[in-house]
Chain A
């Protein structure tokens, strides 16, 4: 059972919701798929037990065999190989690993090589399994790490996937095959605009969704009206509260504190009510 937490807009409270829900669920898996800027471990503070590097395939051009015909550069759709001044130059960060260059090289001058783009950490906080991916600074693409992370999200435990902001390949790869999407928004014109993007995205992938309004207040109707029109359940609200902001700023959980735990308990209870049946029975 996989529950993705996403938003479209950055900073609406995805990690806040994801880590506090994981804390309340207890025996589950928290997976931080925001490999560019992961934050979840700040709040869960897991004891790290395993670290593994994430490698991607890159071509290695043997310059001694290379005839500089440039067929590889011609083929490469991603501009990862350039044919310049009768030299062939590789830009590893742009390589998408299709291995087309290896196939087209008439000299057999290109071999498969590997390079490290980041790492995955696995740890435990009580009985919560905590997994995250971290992209190396300077690397453009986090998708290979997200794909590797997803291999750890097998059945057996409920997995809460803390997704990146945005709407493109990183998010698609995070939420694919999820059973449910928890959309975290803020009650502003900007929050609504990006919520619409997130709704279209999960709709395109056929994933049922529910909404949580963070920084909830007088303007909630902006979101409520939209949810009503779209038939998307509103699963809870976290109020706009400077005390909540302060606790968050210190890197602390909210769900373990009496004055704030209720908000997340309500979200969890409402979530259980709308989850697809087979999964609901695991909760």
Chain B
């Protein structure tokens, strides 16, 4: 079983556009949407839920007013400013347990907090694991780990797991890429794109996963695309795809369908070629895809 994450650093470069197409092209796969804060892949995947569960990702302190003697020890020790007027602010409380430890009256208890929902959906026979973090909840990194774990539970051996990631380089992305056999980094030919690319590539290196770069909409600015290619070459990273700007992609987004369903789309053709390179990577156990 091999795992491939699709991340970007910068938001909006085309992760979900690409991962939805890869899900259609590949055989014997399991798909996971690890962008738990703003999940989009389910909108394209559709399907029927096999399972849906509440996810308890945290706990929150609760002060029993019957026992509270209003000594104020809890609010003075709380590092998150979560206790005001002898009641706990549910958004600020991180569940650390220190207030309860110090309360002389044992007036503080912890209640499990549901922080999201996980889903496993069957989309034309493909298992799709995803989740939705509750608004403003923390612990999104842990929820990502749960989404991946749920995906694994359906693995019988030999599948490829495609993980649609989120923007950024912090805990959510780290939880999405650790242990992956390859990471596809989708970038765009802009100054912002390059700046963010450098940081996500460093992050991949830091966590020991090999990144492969896909430049999406590359002909929007050929000079910038070239700069990205030069940077990758200097640092020894491989380019796995260069997708041209294509109005067909806009049509696909409007129709909420994977772009590979539009056979005459130039972007679709490059995504297909990119998938062939990914297959070589994963099946031939090599890290040289012989492109660029």
Report which A residues bind B (CB closer than 8 A): 8-12, 15, 36-37, 39, 42, 75, 77-78, 96-100, 103-104, 135, 137-142, 164-172, 188-190, 193-194, 197, 200-201, 204-205, 219, 242, 245-246, 248-251
Contacts and interface: CB of A to CB of B under 8 A. Distances in A.
Interface string B57-84: 0010000000000000000000100000
A188 B171 CA distance: 28
Interface in B11-54: 11-13, 16, 37-38, 40, 43
A14 to B, nearest CB: 9
A167 B136 contact: yes
Given A245-B220, A251-B191, A167 B133 contact: yes
A190 B220 contact: no
A11 B10 contact: yes
A166 B166 contact: yes
A164 B38 CA distance: 12
A249 B98 contact: no
A142 B271 CA distance: 34
A98 B96 contact: yes
Q: Which of B11, B96, B191, B195 has the most CB of A within 10 A?
A: B11
Report, as a range, how many residues of chain B touch the other chain.
35 or more
Contacts of A12: 11-12
B140 interface: yes
B191 A42 contact: yes
B199 interface: yes
Best-buried of A98, A168, A170, A250 by chain B (most CB within 10 Å): A168
Contacts of A77: 59, 94-97
Contacts, number: 170
B166 to A, nearest CB: 7
B98 A103 contact: yes
A204 B43 contact: no
B220 A249 contact: yes
Nearest to B221: A249
Most chain A Cβ neighbours within 10 Å, of B37, B94, B188: B37
Interface stretch (B153-161, B200-208, B262-270): B200-208
A165 B168 contact: yes
B44 to A, nearest CB: 9
Given A10-B38, A188-B254, A37 B9 contact: yes
Nearest to B193: A249
A99 B79 contact: yes
B87 interface: no
Nearest to A199: B135
Given A10-B10, A166-B140, A194-B40, A103 B102 contact: yes
B164 interface: no
B98 A36 contact: no
17 contacts: A9-B12, A10-B12, A11-B13, A36-B199, A39-B195, A42-B191, A96-B96, A98-B96, A103-B102, A165-B166, A166-B166, A166-B172, A190-B43, A197-B135, A204-B91, A204-B136, A249-B220
B130 to A, nearest CB: 13
A165 B9 CA distance: 11
A208 to B, nearest CB: 17
Contact of A167 (B9, B11, B135, B190): B135
Interface in B165-220: 166-174, 188-193, 195-196, 199-200, 202-203, 206-207, 220
B226 interface: no
B221 A250 contact: yes
B276 interface: no
A200 B191 CA distance: 32
A168 B37 CA distance: 7
A8 B133 CA distance: 12
B155 to A, nearest CB: 25
Contacts of A103: 98, 101-102
Given A103-B98, A166-B140, A249-B191, A193 B171 contact: no
Q: Which of A36, A172, A194 is the most central at the interface, judged by chain B CB atoms within 10 Å of its CB?
A: A36
A104 B256 CA distance: 54
Contacts of B43: 189-190, 193
B187 to A, nearest CB: 11
Given A9-B11, A11-B11, A36 B97 contact: no
A38 to B, nearest CB: 8
A245 B16 CA distance: 20
